[in-house]
Amino acid sequence: MTLPINALIALIFNAALWIAVFGGVALAAIAFIATLNIFGRVLGFQDLVTIPGDFGLVGIGTALAVFFFLPWCFLKAGHVSVDILFKRLPNAMQWLIVTLSDLILTILWVVLSHRLWLSMIAEKNNIDVTYVLSMPLWWGYALCMIGASIGCLACFAKLLIDFRFGQYPKGWVIDSKKVF
């Protein structure tokens, strides 16, 4: 039974990697749009160089990048940790703290994803659009739901690993030095 679970965990980890890569591309595009618009305005080429609706695109792109980076960051243990006391605790206590924090984060991801879903539905029903491009705002929410969904799956996969129902993918290295 562990083989299908391990294959599923590897699939979730790969999905988190690829959406993080896409989030990086989105972030680079945001930086390009912002830079192009700033230089266009400073140099007086507003009509030739600037991109209409840049504020809406930057806002949606930033939210997308955050939601797409967070699952990968979580799986790589790239979040903040306080190691002064933690590393001196017995292994069983360290496992308990990590597992409880992963469980709390899983609950928070599920609640966040649910609220994001409800907000997306509300934006769609209200027919809210961006000011310049008239792009429906719910499109941004829908894109963020991809990252939120993979974030939920990443949290569940990590819990499976924490409770020894599955294993990290082969060759997986996390940023913190110790894996329980």
Residue 61's nearest CA partner among 163, 1, 139 is: 139
- Report the Cα–Cα distance between both ends of the chain, in Å, rounded: 21
pLDDT band at 16; cut points 50, 70, 90: very high
Q: How far apart are CA 61 and CA 23, in angstroms?
A: 8
pLDDT at 13: 97
CA 100 to chain centre: 20
pTM of this prediction?
0.88
Rounded-to-5 percentages of helix, strand, coil across the chain:
75, 0, 25
Q: Does the pLDDT of residue 20 top 90, yes or no?
A: yes
Q: Residue 163: which H helix or E strand, with range? A: none
Q: Residue 121: which H helix or E strand, with range? A: helix 91-126
Task: Return the amino acid letter for 22.
Answer: F
Q: Does the pLDDT of residue 2 top 70, yes or no?
A: no
129 beta partners: 136
Q: Does the pLDDT of residue 1 top 60, yes or no?
A: no
Dihedral, 99, 100, 106, 108 alpha carbons, nearest 10? -160
Token pair 């967070």 is found at 70
pLDDT tens, residue by residue, 81-120: 777 788 888 999 999 999 999 999 999 999 999 999 999 9
- Exposed, middle or buried, 46 (CB in 10 Å: 0-12/13-18/19+)? exposed
Q: How far apart are CA 122 and CA 11, in angstroms?
A: 32
Q: How far apart are CA 176 and CA 173, in angstroms?
A: 9
Q: Residue 126: CA atoms inside 13 Å, Cβ hemisphere, count? A: 12
Q: Three-state SS for 78?
A: coil
